[in-house]
Amino acid sequence: MTKSAKLTIGEKVIDLPIHSPTLGPDVVDIRKLYAEADVFTYDPGFTSTAACESTITYIDGDKGELFYRGYPIEQLADRSHYLEVCYLLLYGELPNAAQQADFEYRITRHTMLHEQIHYFFRGFRRDSHPMATMVGVVGAMSAFYHDSLDINDPWQREVAAIRMIAKLPTIAAMAYKYSIGQPFNYPQNHLDYAGNFLHMCFAVPAEPYTVNPVLAKAMDRIMMLHADHEQNASTSTVRLAGSSGANPFACIAAGIACLWGPAHGGANRACLEMLREIGTVDRIPEYIRRAKDKDDPFRLMGFGHRVYKNFDPRAKVMKESADEVLGLLGIENNPTLQVAKELERIALEDDYFVAKKLYPNVDFYSGIILDAMGFPTSMFTPIFAISRTVGWISQWKEMIGDPTQKIGRPRQLYKGETRRDYVDLRHR
Ligand code: CMC
């Protein structure tokens, strides 16, 4: 039986169809509301609005579940690897051996950047934030790869997708090397995706560099955990930018710009800086008090999530990885990790955090791992951006292929002046 909802406005009763998803709450379809009832809905921050139909990622915030194409994140983090997850997100199914080999071949044959992009890098100040450089360089890719700009050609869309997944690690590593005044490293296609990224970031021409497989595995896991997350702020930005027909490189650059904010991808950096500022376990109560104080803008970074009102499943996997990486490096007694664990313990027992359902999110432990690997905090968000690129592209491709897709154009609740007449300067 098809479900519907009735909305009564004055004398008028409007029938609104209800769509049932495969998982999650029903969705009331209000597309005809304005035409039939001459009203808008009001939902700043989209807390109750489904902006699109999607088959890619599912989150149950109350149960703390995250599925990519139906597969739980814990199983993927345990048994899969990043490029397999990329294939899954992009094409909908896990690859067989031949498909996997072909996909990895295509990605590794696109890792180099057009040589002229090197000059583009050199135009930035040395102290540019790597995210600023990435927004610029990814946007500039539209000026270098003219053969993958036509969004109406499926082959060009495919090439653009492969190019971005392949080249983002190269761009991020170059942004880092440039910021520290070291020469760029070209990609090494015999290395796996995560290992190649570590090599491009940490190798120097003067010495041999061997990728540590445990660190490469931890990096690969970080990438898997960040690969997609449904209609979050940066993904919605990519979809909105793409809805106008903008080219894929411009859309991903928009996504990177949105990710940069401290409430989104910038939180991993802010979280590590906060843990360092707290410094010792005895100072935790002071910060818990500040987080609860309505007059203090301070928030516990790495805590809370718009959708998860139970543990963020990614945080659990990340915590295991943090123990593994710090154990390998022989720094299990790292004071930042001690502060993080104690902060988590105290916050999870505190009435304020319990009542507001504030749990550690993915960013709570990722910064500790990246710091232990040798990354400066400025590289945390670029690593998130590399990982999320596949999610953005998968969502962008899905949107382009959706026949119901329209340019995104929200309306507003206007509270400004009503009509008034222009007053000449001398009379104001
Ligand atoms: N510390 C202290 N109080 C908090 C926190 C926090 N981290 N997060 C939320 N609250 C309180 C907030 O003050 C509010 O209280 P009240 O109802 O009394 O006004 C209540 O909890 C609800 O907060 P909200 O801001 O309405 O919730 P939101 O869904 O709009 O925000 C969030 C979600 C992630 C932006 C927020 O929890 C936050 O700022 N967290 C810290 C930043 C962070 O870790 N971000 C990473 C998110 S995961 C990775 C990603 O998506 O990029």
Q: Is the minimum distance from the CB of 252 to ligand 1 under 6 angstroms?
A: no
Q: Read off the DSSP letter of residue 310.
A: S
Write the DSSP string, 48-65: T---S--SSEEEETTTTE
Last residue of a domain, one of 373, 392, 418: 373
Query: Does residue 255 sit in the same domain as residue 271?
Result: no
Query: Does residue 163 sit in the same domain as residue 196?
Result: yes
Task: Compute the distance between CA of residue 385 and CA of residue 368 in angstroms, rounded to an integer.
Answer: 18
pLDDT of residue 201: 98
The residue from 363, 371, 402, 421 that is catalytic is 363
Q: Is the minimum distance from the CB of 269 to ligand 1 under 6 angstroms?
A: no
Asked, for residue 129, whether it belongs to a domain, the answer is yes
Query: Does residue 111 sit in the same domain as residue 203?
Result: yes
Asked, for residue 57, whether it belongs to a domain, the answer is no
Last residue of a domain, one of 373, 391, 411: 373
Query: Which CATH number fits the domain that encloses residue 13?
Result: 2.20.28.60
Query: Which CATH number fits the domain that encloses residue 348?
Result: 1.10.230.10
Query: Which CATH number fits the domain that encloses residue 142?
Result: 1.10.580.10
Of all protein residues, whose CA lies closest to atom 19 belonging to ligand 1?
Answer: 294
Query: Does residue 217 sit in the same domain as residue 330?
Result: no
Ligand 1 atom index nearest CA of 356:
21
pLDDT of residue 2: 83
Task: Compute the distance between CA of residue 333 and CA of residue 233 in angstroms, rounded to an integer.
Answer: 36
Tokens of 134: 């990435």
pLDDT of residue 416: 98
Q: Could you tell me the residue range of the domain that residue 252 belongs to?
A: 93-223+233-262+379-401
pLDDT of residue 203: 98
Q: Is the minimum distance from the CB of 356 to ligand 1 under 6 angstroms?
A: yes
363 is catalytic: yes
Ligand 1 pocket mutation pick from 292, 314, 356 by most atoms within 8 angstroms of CB: 356
Asked, for residue 276, whether it belongs to a domain, the answer is yes
Nearest CA-CA partner of 278 in 254, 315, 303: 303
Ligand 1 atom index nearest CA of 264:
52
Q: Is the minimum distance from the CB of 379 to ligand 1 under 6 angstroms?
A: no
Last residue of a domain, one of 34, 50, 66: 50
Query: Does residue 258 sit in the same domain as residue 137?
Result: yes
Rounded to the nearest angstrom, the distance between the alpha carbon of 303 and the centre of ligand 1 is 7
Ligand 1 atom index nearest CA of 312:
48
Residues 6+ apart with CB under 8 A from 178: 121, 122, 124, 126, 128, 133, 184
CA quadruple 9, 12, 13, 19: dihedral, nearest 10:
-70
Q: What tens-digit pLDDT sequence spans the chain (428 residues)?
A: 689 999 999 999 999 999 999 999 999 999 999 999 999 999 999 999 999 999 999 999 999 999 999 999 999 999 999 999 999 999 999 999 999 999 999 999 999 999 999 999 999 999 999 999 999 999 999 999 999 999 999 999 999 999 999 999 999 999 999 999 999 999 999 999 999 999 999 999 999 999 999 999 999 999 999 999 999 999 999 999 999 999 999 999 999 999 999 888 888 888 999 999 999 999 999 999 999 999 999 999 999 998 898 889 999 899 888 888 888 888 877 888 889 989 999 988 999 999 999 998 888 889 889 999 999 999 999 999 999 999 999 999 999 999 988 999 999 999 999 999 999 999 99
For the segment 61-107, what is each residue's pLDDT rounded down to a tens digit?
999 999 999 999 999 999 999 999 999 999 999 999 999 999 999 99
Query: Does residue 256 sit in the same domain as residue 243?
Result: yes
Asked, for residue 108, whether it belongs to a domain, the answer is yes
pLDDT of residue 263: 86
Of all protein residues, whose CA lies closest to atom 15 belonging to ligand 1?
Answer: 356
pLDDT of residue 75: 97
Euclidean distance between the first and the last CA atom of the chain, given in angstroms as a whole number? 64
Query: Does residue 257 sit in the same domain as residue 298?
Result: no
C-alpha to C-alpha distances, 110 to 114, 198, 346, 423, nearest whole angstrom: 10, 17, 47, 60
pLDDT of residue 207: 95
Query: Does residue 215 sit in the same domain as residue 293?
Result: no
Q: Look up residue 329 and give its amino acid.
A: L
Adjacent-strand bridge partners of 68: 57, 71
Query: Does residue 206 sit in the same domain as residue 110?
Result: yes
Of all protein residues, whose CA lies closest to atom 50 belonging to ligand 1?
Answer: 264
Sheet hosting strand 27-28, strand order edge to edge: 3-9, 12-19, 27-28
Write the DSSP string, 359-427: -B-THHHHHHHHHHHT--GGGHHHHHHHHHHHHHHHHHHHHHT-TT-----------S--------GGG
Rounded to the nearest angstrom, the distance between the alpha carbon of 357 and the centre of ligand 1 is 10
Q: Is the minimum distance from the CB of 291 to ligand 1 under 6 angstroms?
A: yes
Query: Does residue 178 sit in the same domain as residue 254?
Result: yes
Of all protein residues, whose CA lies closest to atom 28 belonging to ligand 1?
Answer: 306
Dihedral sign, Cα of residue 393, residue 394, residue 397, residue 403: negative
- Domain total of the chain: 3
Nearest CA-CA partner of 266 in 405, 381, 388, 402: 381
Of all protein residues, whose CA lies closest to atom 36 belonging to ligand 1?
Answer: 304
The residue from 192, 305, 312, 371 that is catalytic is 305
Query: Does residue 150 sit in the same domain as residue 283?
Result: no
28 three-state secondary structure: strand
Asked, for residue 247, whether it belongs to a domain, the answer is yes
Asked, for residue 241, whether it belongs to a domain, the answer is yes
Rounded to the nearest angstrom, the distance between the alpha carbon of 389 and the centre of ligand 1 is 24
Tokens of 378: 């400025």
Q: Is the minimum distance from the CB of 354 to ligand 1 under 6 angstroms?
A: no
Ligand 1 atom index nearest CA of 307:
29
Tokens of 281: 């376990």
pLDDT of residue 177: 96
305 is catalytic: yes
